Structure 1
Amino acid sequence: MLRVVDHGARTWRHEISRYQWAVLVATTMGWALDGFDSSLFTQVAGPATTDLLGHASSFYSGVAVTVFLFGWAVGAVAFGALADYVGRVRVLMIGVLTYSVFTALATLSGEFWQFAVLRFVAGIGSGVELPIGAALVAEAWNNRHRAKASGIMMSGLAIGSFLAAIVYNFVGGFGWRITLAFGIVPALLVLFIRSHVHEPDSTAQVKAARAVRKQERAAGAHKIAADRFVLTQLFTPPMLRRTLPCTIICIGALFAFWGVTTWTPQIVRVVVGEHGVTGNAAVSYVSWAVAMLNLGGLLGYASWGFIADKIGRKPTFAMSLVIGIVAVGVLYPFGTTFTTYMWLLPFVGFGVFGVLSGSAVFFPELFGASVRASALAVTNSIGRLFTAAGPLLAGVIATQWFHGSLALATTAVSGLIVISFIGLAFTPETHGRFLYNDDPTTSVDGRVAANIVNEGIRP
């Protein structure tokens, strides 16, 4: 008697190699520890500024965050372009070491300007993780599970921020220097990356193609778009019509992300302070609020790829944007109790953080492997350059427009997330396929199936 075996229930495990798991673990851990570093910083930015200046200042707290974001943008573009030429893995390790070491060194600052400079350098290293990690996952997970893997990788940011909230809960009372010293932990990740992660096959293919083009050019071949420097390619046709909308999506998303992640700790301090909870007594309240924000973010990140595989990339983007806009608009202007924040912060995190997961899933499908890390870096970095002043702006307008209300200022700045709808309107639905091959003179836009590069997948 023949026995019928249902292979469908177990095939997905056999479709995923040990190398793919290693890449996912390394990039998720890297992004988690990046989030751990950043979240620790936002929770101590106020106390650190107060200690170094001798008085509290929302303006200088915003400055500290802003210089970090500028460093992030600079590092992402520089190292992203480098990764498209020399490979992903080595550049990823350099970035992890940079942001962990310089985060720890910031604890030795005696003046505010020293603190700001060290945070800028830490930002340069931090900028490496998202574009290179997302590109590495997209290239290693070259199967029907790619979107899910990318979403899981992005959930690392919320996991790290959640862990930072736990650390802050236990050590925050010892001061900002002790707390920020835990930022050295990510350096240990380099040992795992070096042992278990190698370059994806696409890196070797791109290098081989460039070598062939170099020989052809030496023999007198005409220059084509693919011969240009990767950053030049992104800002000239045909890639410009992908770069620009993706950048606009990032600008809107990052205004909201940095608005809520930077100022939620301070807003919660104000809320509980109005009920008589101040100083070290407020530490646990802040840590729990940050944990709830990142719990929602974790769900938003991790579920994004699963939802996108069901309903499409663009509808999932729209879903995240709407949830983020509504949650921010309800909580920050009208939330007056800690309990309200605990209930609604997960919804804020789910929507606002989920949009960023979308960029890690969606954007790699719009750019070829020869420019992918640069594309992810540029679109996110321009977004960060536009939004780097967001935390600073919130501190300024809280004082000048909203009578010192950081909650209303954060609502105004985060409301700029609506800009993302403009970029979304000008991007094509990918349905899980790579729409560009590595010859940027060829744009398939899903219309010429024969030209879809082999790294693409079917949903």
Structure 2
Amino acid sequence: MEATKELAAPARKWNARLTSKHWKTLKGAFLGWIFDGYEALALVVVLSPLLKSLLTPEQAASKPFYAGMVIGITLLGWGVGGLVGGVLADYVGRKTVMMWSVFLYALFTGLTAFSDTIVTMCLLRFITGLAMGSEWSTGIALVAETWPAEARAKGAGFLQSGFGWGTLAAALIWYLLQLSMPLGDDTWRVMFVVGALPAFFVLYIRKDVGESEEWIAAVKNQEWAATEESSEKGGKRPFTLKQVFTEREAVRRILLTSLLSVVSIAGWWAVSSWLTEYTRTISAAQGIQSHWDSYVSLLYTTGAIIAYIVSGFMADAMGRRWFLFVTFAGSLATTFLIYSYASTVTEILVFSPINGFFTLGCAFSWLAIYPSELFNTSVRSTAVSFVFNSARLVAWFFPIAAGAMIKTFGGIAPTALAFGCVYAIGLVVPWFLPETAGKDQ
């Protein structure tokens, strides 16, 4: 009789167990990721005027190469900083590392506004990337360890949407600055001054965001195993990065998810980051004088934000592996639509939000949802950070290579199509990973 009642009981709503404490934790991680998103797109949208200001006449002859260099150097710093910060967060705590990450990247983003040469710019971009790298993995770990299982994927998707809102803010602010041009050709510098504002956000983290109790308990109880396949406990704590690469199942998971991470990150930076520049090229060829690149950025980012918000629901409904398959299939298809089929600005405007839904939205949401479910608490930040940031250590070369190959391939479109083929890897790899949807609920 009791069993019958239990079966007849209505399913618990996904948000039934959420409290104000959960939402404050999400808010802290969410706001931090907004600033990261702003920082990422701000560099992309101001790249052309930035290079115009900083390159010498001799350097300007190789503009695509230097464009790729600035982006690539940022990615390299982001990757190195993320790896270091992810490990530190497993030892000193998620909250502490998040605070320092936000403060330092805000500081060096502001200093970027004062760059006077391309060398200075690259140096400051690298340092900014170092500081910025660990903010994401600490936020992901906090949400994964504090939110109840039935709401975890949704919370991760909401967190990831912060990146989209940040990129949308960057696109909108740059659009408004282009209308007024307060500093003339140096107006791009204002974008980086705005990027220094997150320094004040540290005060909120310090006051309202708590440390992960699950992480505190795991360290106290000496639970060192990297995955549920191992039962290692007690004794001297192994170095977290070594632990992840010691257990056979952990190694398999981290290598496969890192490969998928390379696909997401390389695909975005080597393909989608050229969308605004490609739009400028198409509008110039059509003889259209307007801010079409800003419109495309806004629509592209809007598509990504929608994906971020619904991604947790999609991943729970479809399962993690099918979600990954659909993500990369959509990224591949829409990349070919834009760079192969679209020939007018109007067509790019139509396809850009769909492309953003997959290549920026879904293709980054899975990184917030899935890897944290594959690894245990004591190594979670290290593992998640490795998956995300080791990909940057590989992918940082792609925008540089793309920039160099644009001239060889005869334009942005054929180069983007060549690099876009990387999404095909994402159609195969997910099926070699375990399904985690519905576990621990």
Give the alignment's TM-score, normalised by structure 1. 0.86
Structure 1 unaligned segments of length 5 or more: list them. 1-5, 214-221, 434-456
Kindly indicate whether residue 303 of structure 2 is the aligned counterpart of residue 293 of structure 1: no
Shift, 1:355, TM fit: 2.0
Contact 2:102 2:198 in 1 (8 A): yes
Task: Identify the match of residue 387 of structure 1 among 395, 407, 418.
Answer: 395
Shift of 1:156: 1.1
Q: How does 1:372-383 map to 2 (within 5 A)?
A: 372-383=380-391
Structure 1 residues 263-309: Cα deviation after superposition (integer angstroms, max 9, x where no partner): 112111111111224xxx54x32211111111111112221110111
Shift of 1:341: 1.1
Asked whether 1:236 is paired with 2:243, we answer: no
Offset from partner CA, 1:82-108 (integer Å, 9 cap, x none): 000110011011111122111110111
What displacement does 1:129 show? 2.1
The correspondence of residues 125-164 of structure 1 with structure 2, limited to 5 A, is 125-164=131-170
Spell out, residue by residue over 1:294-342, the C-alpha distance to the aligned partner (whole angstroms, 9 max, x if none).
1111112221110111121111111111111100011112322111111
Q: Counterpart in 2 of 1:217?
A: none
Cα deviation for residue 411 of structure 1 reads: 2.2
- Paired residues for 1:37-436 under 5 Å: 37-55=39-57, 56=60, 57-172=63-178, 173-174=181-182, 175-210=187-222, 227-238=237-248, 239-277=250-288, 282=290, 284-353=291-360, 354-400=362-408, 402-403=409-410, 405-433=411-439
Secondary structure of the structure 1 residue equivalent to 2:196: helix
Can you give the 5+ residue segments of structure 2 that lack an aligned partner in the other structure? 1-7, 226-231
- Rounded to whole Å, the distance in 2 between the matches of 1:226 and 1:432 is 33
Distance 1:225 1:346, change over 3 A: farther
Quote how far apart the aligned CAs of 1:38 are: 1.1
Q: How many pairs were matched up?
A: 416
Give the Å deviation of 1:226.
Answer: 8.2
Alignment partners' CA distance in 1, 2:110 and 2:417:
32
**1:26 alignment partner in structure 2:** 28
TM-score (norm 2): 0.89
Query: Partners of 1:396 and 1:308 in 2: how far apart?
Result: 37
Q: How much does 1:128 deviate?
A: 1.3
SS of the equivalent of 2:434 reads: coil
Take 1:31 and 1:236, find their aligned partners in 2: how far apart are those partners?
31
Counterpart-to-counterpart distance in 1, 2:436 and 2:12: 27
Query: Cα distance, 1:11 vs. partner?
Result: 5.8
| Preserved contact between residue 226 and residue 233 of structure 1 (Cα < 8 Å) | no
CA drift of 1:416 comes to: 0.8
CA distance in 2, matches of 1:132, 1:248: 21
Change (3 A) 1:311 1:331: same
Shift of 1:360: 1.1
Alpha-carbon distance in structure 1 between the residues aligned to 2:400 and 2:127:
19
Deviation at residue 180 of structure 1 after TM alignment = 2.3
- In structure 1, what is the Cα distance between the partners aligned to 2:99 and 2:286? 46
Query: Structure 1's 372 and 8: CA in aligned 2 closer, same or farther, altered over 3 A?
Result: same
Identity, in percent, stands at 30
Closer/same/farther in 2, CA of residues 419 and 211 from structure 1, 3 Å limit? closer
Structure 1 residues 355, 60: CA separation in 2 closer, same or farther (over 3 Å shift)? same
Judge conservation of contact 2:325–2:426 (CA < 8 Å) in 1: no
Quickly say closer, same or farther: Cα 1:237–1:9, change in 2 above 3 A: closer
Tell me the distance in 1 between the aligned counterparts of 2:224 and 2:34. 39
CA distance in 2, matches of 1:223, 1:429: 25
The verdict on how the C-alpha distance between 1:331 and 1:20 changes in structure 2, with shifts beyond 3 A counting, is same
Offset at residue 240 of structure 1 (A): 0.4
Deviations 1:168-225 (A, max 9, x none): 0011334211222211122222121111101011121122124999xxxxxxxx9989
Q: Matches of 1:223 and 1:147 in 2, distance apart?
A: 28
Matches within 5 A, 1:432-447: 432-433=438-439
How many angstroms apart in 2 are the aligned matches of 1:153 and 1:10?
22
Q: 2: distance between equivalents of 1:80 and 1:231? A: 10
**3-state SS in 1 of match to 2:150:** coil
Q: Return the alpha-carbon distance in structure 2 between the equivalents of residues 11 and 339 of structure 1.
A: 42
Partner AA of 2:19 in structure 1: S
CA RMSD, Structure 1 to Structure 2 (Å): 2.3
Write the deviation string for residues 140-191 of structure 1: whole angstroms up to 9, x where unpaired. Answer: 1123111111011111111110111100001133421122221112222212
Alpha-carbon separation, structure 1, partners of 2:100 and 2:141: 16
